[in-house]
Amino acid sequence: MLELLQKLFKDTQLAMPIFAKPTHLYPSSAVNFYAIPTVVWGFAAQNDEVIPYCNPPLGLAPAVSQYWSVSNVIINCLVLLVYAIIIGFVHFRAKSRACSEQRKVVRRLQVIVIVFIFSWFMAILGVNVGVLLRFPPDILQLWQSNMVFFALICYSQTFYVCIWRSKEYRSAFMEQLQLMACQTPEIKPEMVTSRSQVTRFITVQTQVKK
């Protein structure tokens, strides 16, 4: 995700200082800031009750589970807001100088948003819907546990979305399959052209900065 944003802001010629540092530090820091206190609280609040199904809504103590599910809904809404801002920015602010690479990035983001809504967002929202509808405890356990179906879609969607939306990703994947079969990968001419164009672009950008 951050790599897509980095490419997008570079193409729109916007200076974003945060992208000057390794991008993996930002998601890992945000995840740890949220996850560590939640895990510590969940460990401190544990009891000897039998866990019917091994998943966060049922595996955590009631208070921790409620915090986890509600906070995830809030985080998911913030994620959708960020996606909407990025897509809106490209359409309305950078439309005059949009290039084909930008449009590809935006279309990929739109697909990711749709998949995100109907996978992880739906899973977390479904957990809270069961609570709001006041399902009986036995029904609520089954309801919340079956929400894992949408979560599994989320966990596996990245590969399929990239295969569908990225020609470069498909070509690289086919090269890997050919290598696994002990075959020499066939590099298509358009791939060589695009790579050389990217190299020339980076060289020009470096010279301009100097």
How far, in Å, CA of 134 to CA of 108, rounded?
38
Q: Phi and psi of 74, rounded to 5°?
A: -65, -45
- In whole angstroms, what separates CA 84 from the centre of its chain? 14
- Residue with structure tokens 């020499």? 184
The per-residue pLDDT for 199 is: 43
pTM above threshold 0.75: no
How far, in Å, CA of 29 to CA of 103, rounded?
30
The per-residue pLDDT for 26 is: 66
- Residue with structure tokens 């084909």? 100
> Do 46 and 61 meet the contact criterion of CB atoms below 8 Å apart?
yes
> Do 61 and 47 meet the contact criterion of CB atoms below 8 Å apart?
yes
The tens-digit pLDDT sequence of the chain (210 residues) is: 555 555 555 544 444 444 445 555 666 787 888 889 988 998 898 887 888 888 888 888 888 988 999 999 999 999 899 888 888 877 776 555 556 667 777 777 788 888 888 888 999 999 999 888 989 988 988 898 888 888 888 887 777 777 777 777 788 878 888 888 787 766 655 544 444 444 444 444 444 444
How far, in Å, CA of 163 to CA of 171, rounded?
9
**Under the phi-then-psi rule, with left for phi > 0, alpha for psi from -120 to 50, and beta for the rest, what region is 166?**
beta
